[in-house]
Structure 1
Amino acid sequence: MSGVERLRFPDGTSLVFKYATEPFTREGQVLLLAARYGIPVPQVIASTVKDGHLGMLLEDLGTPLREADDHDGVTAAVIVHQARAAVELPALDEEALRRLPDRALEHLSRLRDAGRWQDTNVIEDALVRIAGAAEHRARGADIEPYGWVHSEFHPTSIHVGRRGRHLLDFARAFTGPGLLDLASWYGTVDPPDPARLRRLIEAYVHAGGHHDALAQRAGLPAEAWGLGWHRVWVVEWFMEQSVRWVNDPATDPAYVKTVQRHLNDATRLLEP
């Protein structure tokens, strides 16, 4: 759904060409917005969207000096979360967070109407449980840090080069609880590790992040709340992909397995 190429010109200069299909086609606008708000991102030389496809020419930051580590992550997160909130971004506030499991159930209903995802009662039961507790468990979404959320915040989203750190892959940025960025840092391949995330949040606060990042939310430790809602956010995103963006029954077994795994994590963390 997206790709990156380096373009080399006869005079020795180079640019990066990034292309993407929906739903990643607003990244050019978001990068321009991020730069305006003081977030270090590659300069957008040109950007256009045509027939549901994005094409961008970006400055070439060069080969990274090294992979980003936890220190790079918390430092970059502090910069992003301290930026002034952008009204232009979609919002994932308390009400929108509460709606996530309901949205996932709507996706499941459409998939079943299409004759897909038939043997998924376990997924439905988990979503119903989380939806029933969501009004309570979504509380605290607006506790600081609240504002810019990168949303795809991983080590690969930070370019460490000769000119410092730059943030990449801003296509799905939104306004919401910054804990979701920290919860995404270690990825979703391995089981969520609340103790590890707690240490990352503490390092984030030590690096200048808002102290309330450590505060409890809805009766849960910050790390459990962040990891649990991040997994629900991922579940809704995967199910929307299955319905709308990918819409390929051949991918259903892999998507069902992934959604089930993340829901198991979410129910354990959010304790619905």
Structure 2
Amino acid sequence: MNPIAIDRLRGEVLEKAGLSPEVESAVLHSWELSHTERLTTSDGPLIFKCATEPFTHEHDNLIAAWQAGVNVPRIQATTRAPTILGMLMEDLGTPTREASDADGIAAAIQLHSSAAPDFLAPGDTEWLRSLPSRALRSLHLLQSERWEDTDDITVTLQQIEKAAPARAEGATLRPFGWVHSEFHPESLIVTADGRPFMFDFARAFRGPGLIDLASWQGTVDAPDPDRMRALLETYIDEGGPSQTLHDRGGLPVQNWALGWHRVWVLEWFLDQALLWIADPAIDPAYQRVVRRHATEAASLLRV
């Protein structure tokens, strides 16, 4: 993000919180679309985060989650322009340890059982069915501008697109509601009292909670359906809905969840490459990620 914009937004949220703009700051994370700092203020440590589109509604999501009783950092002040957001938040401190599968399950159950606000973007069966087509549209635009030698990705996505109407069935079975969408151990902080808190709600939507549970594995390693199945079984044992293990779209639930998660991720990477970052220098990396996710999705969804 632009350093001038970061300084301006930091000053605005501190002023709204009644705090001096003269603070010590330590950068926690920074990339093209968002920036996060820990501030040392007269009120103690606080977290400052700013972001550009498409992450400019995270404050609404965090406030709604907090109001629903979800363990999230509390918003202290915000400033908003049409294409940029600044937030001042409660500092949850340094994690006492890395979040475990048990922490992830506890956090997922809490989120998925909480009331989801109506303003969240919808992610129903039709939305899921549309993902391959939307990915193909973005891919075709990239191919017309700069992506070469990616016809194999087109073929794989067309196969997924053809199967999507049947494979998307079951999207609205429980758990359905809040989807964190960036749900992995690095998005949880385990506090000193052992409670897992979630952050990074910028892409939250209303849809199948199985997307979160599939996200927990990450996408660096090959998808592991057996591990996914074990996680889902424990999720039910700890209080998740019994419908969780129902087959969907003619597939075992673990394949369905991991497969559609890959489609959802690759569609996002295509949008990053086309719209939000659009840097030809990193196109090869995006192409590798999209190709791998498309191949994994096709295998998992058995198309």
TM-score of Structure 1 vs Structure 2, range by shorter chain = over 0.9
Match of 2:285 among 247, 251, 254: 254
Per the TM alignment, residue 35 of structure 1 is displaced from its structure 2 partner at its CA by: 1.0
Q: What is the CA deviation profile of residues 99-139 of structure 1, one whole-angstrom value per residue up to 9, with x for unaligned ones? A: 0000011001111222x112111100001000000000000
Per the TM alignment, residue 49 of structure 1 is displaced from its structure 2 partner at its CA by: 2.1
The runs of at least 4 aligned residues of structure 1 exceeding 4 Å deviation read none
Per the TM alignment, residue 85 of structure 1 is displaced from its structure 2 partner at its CA by: 2.7
Per the TM alignment, residue 271 of structure 1 is displaced from its structure 2 partner at its CA by: 0.9
RMSD: 1.1
Measured in 2, the distance between the counterparts of 1:179 and 1:252 equals 30
- SS in structure 2 of the partner of residue 54 of structure 1: strand
Match of 2:227 among 187, 190, 196: 196
Match of 1:44 among 75, 84, 88: 75
Which amino acid in the other structure matches residue 198 of structure 1? R
Partner of 1:266: 297
Structure 1 position 95 matched with structure 2 position 126: yes
Measured in 2, the distance between the counterparts of 1:256 and 1:204 equals 34
Q: Percent identity?
A: 51
Which amino acid in the other structure matches residue 35 of structure 2? G
Structure 2 residues without counterparts, runs of 5 or longer? 1-32
Match of 2:183 among 133, 153, 163: 153
Measured in 2, the distance between the counterparts of 1:75 and 1:62 equals 20
Measured in 2, the distance between the counterparts of 1:2 and 1:211 equals 38
Partner of 1:174: 205
Structure 1 position 129 matched with structure 2 position 154: no
Structure 1 position 112 matched with structure 2 position 115: no
Measured in 1, the distance between the counterparts of 2:281 and 2:177 equals 38
Measured in 1, the distance between the counterparts of 2:262 and 2:148 equals 22
Instruction: Provide the aligned length of Structure 1 versus Structure 2.
Output: 270
- SS in structure 2 of the partner of residue 190 of structure 1: coil
Counterparts of 1:225-244 in structure 2 under 5 Å?
225-244=256-275
Measured in 1, the distance between the counterparts of 2:243 and 2:166 equals 19
- SS in structure 1 of the partner of residue 49 of structure 2: strand
Measured in 2, the distance between the counterparts of 1:214 and 1:99 equals 24
Structure with more contact order per residue of length (Cα contacts < 8 Å, sep ≥ 6):
1
Structure 1 residues without counterparts, runs of 5 or longer? none
Shift in alpha-carbon separation, 1:35–1:12, aligned structure 2, 3 A = closer
Which amino acid in the other structure matches residue 2 of structure 1? S
Measured in 1, the distance between the counterparts of 2:115 and 2:84 equals 29
Shift in alpha-carbon separation, 1:201–1:155, aligned structure 2, 3 A = same
Partner of 1:35: 66
**Alpha-carbon contact 2:143-2:150 (below 8 Å) kept:** no
- SS in structure 1 of the partner of residue 39 of structure 2: strand
TM-score normalised according to structure 1 size = 0.97
Which amino acid in the other structure matches residue 175 of structure 1? R
Which amino acid in the other structure matches residue 65 of structure 1? T
Measured in 1, the distance between the counterparts of 2:218 and 2:40 equals 33
TM-score normalised according to structure 2 size = 0.87
- SS in structure 1 of the partner of residue 87 of structure 2: strand
Which amino acid in the other structure matches residue 229 of structure 2? R
Match of 1:79 among 92, 105, 110: 110
Structure 1 stretch displaced more, 247-256 or 133-142: 247-256
Which amino acid in the other structure matches residue 160 of structure 2? I
Measured in 2, the distance between the counterparts of 1:78 and 1:256 equals 34
Per the TM alignment, residue 195 of structure 1 is displaced from its structure 2 partner at its CA by: 0.1
Measured in 2, the distance between the counterparts of 1:121 and 1:142 equals 33
Partner of 1:5: 37
Which amino acid in the other structure matches residue 188 of structure 2? I
Which amino acid in the other structure matches residue 80 of structure 1? L
Per the TM alignment, residue 219 of structure 1 is displaced from its structure 2 partner at its CA by: 1.1
- SS in structure 2 of the partner of residue 175 of structure 1: strand
Per the TM alignment, residue 263 of structure 1 is displaced from its structure 2 partner at its CA by: 0.7
